[in-house]
Amino acid sequence: MNSKPSSFQFYNGVLLYPVGFVLLIWIVYWVEIRFGINFTPYGVKPQTALGLRGVLFSPFIHGSIAHLWHNTVPLFVLSTALFYFYHKIAWRVFFFLILLSGIGTWFIGRSAYHIGMSGVIYGLVSFLFFKGIRAKHFRLIALSLLVVFLYGSLVWGTLPVDEKISWEGHLAGLVSGALLGFCFRESVEKPPKYVWESEDYNEEDDPFMRQFDENGNFIEIVEEEKEEDVEESPIINYIYKEEDSTSETD
């Protein structure tokens, strides 16, 4: 596997890790269906000691094909963005999102089993948005705007509009992502600094700026051409002489 790059460059993990996450949640659901096992009791059960195990297990458990499919595409897209743009901290961010969203759900959730990757997905949306805005890098800001455009409507999922949806898990994930976006300050490449942004920049030494006067008008600078000693090449004159034709007679 290729080593991780130092800037925004593609490496194998950008696709392999998100594909691995997607395969894992589908395999867990396949095991439930194939062997008739119900993993729901391994979800987060708020305010119970046994329910704490769901902090680690619940993101990989889903209640139906529809639930699983709705989480598959956002998980792949957002985790791909995470590992591409924030590869230095991607694993830590992903782990802390699982941990913090699960613990938050355990504290504020209703007395029910909370399962699914939705909390982590909300955390990824929140992290990518707030981290990109704070980074002040044009690529990361563009990523933030794209995330809002694609998944901004998810904010409605943090409201108690449907009793079958764990809005508590969504809210816990959203808050967790925002916190991580402000806590992780390193690992973001600074935007390129141009010559005129440096502290020792002097306009008089800039060849481009010297083409303008104090009023900003373009002026043409004629540089004196240095005379170079050019070795004269010899002149060769060609003289063409017609050949005398003589006829021989017997």
204 is a domain residue: no
Are the C-beta atoms of residues 108 and 184 closer than 8 Å to each other?
A: no
16 phi and psi angles, rounded to 5 deg: -65, -45
Determine the residue type at 150.
L
Asked if residue 119 belongs to a domain, the reply is yes
Which string of b and e fits 65-75 if b means at least 16 CB within 10 Å? Answer: eebbebbbebb
Q: Is residue 34 part of a domain?
A: yes
Segment 52-74 shows an average pLDDT of 95
pLDDT digits (tens, 9 = 90+) for 87-146: 989 999 999 999 999 999 999 999 999 999 999 999 999 999 999 888 878 888 888 899
- Does residue 153 lie within any of the structural domains? yes
| 222 assigned to some structural domain | no
The pLDDT of residue 136 is: 75
Please report whether residue 3 resides in a domain. Answer: no
Is pTM beyond 0.85? Reply is no
Total structural domains in the chain?
Answer: 1
Residue 23 domain boundaries = 13-183
CATH of residue 114's domain is: 1.20.1540.10
Question: DSSP states of 59-87 as a string?
Answer: GG--SSHHHHHHHHHHHHHHHHHHHHHST
207 domain residue, yes or no:
no
- Of 37-41, 98-102, 246-250, minimum mean pLDDT range: 246-250
185-243 tens-digit pLDDT: 755 555 555 555 566 666 666 666 666 666 666 676 555 444 444 555 566 666 666 66
Summarize pLDDT for 68-84 with one digit per residue, the tens. 999 999 999 999 999 99
Domain annotation covers residue 244: no
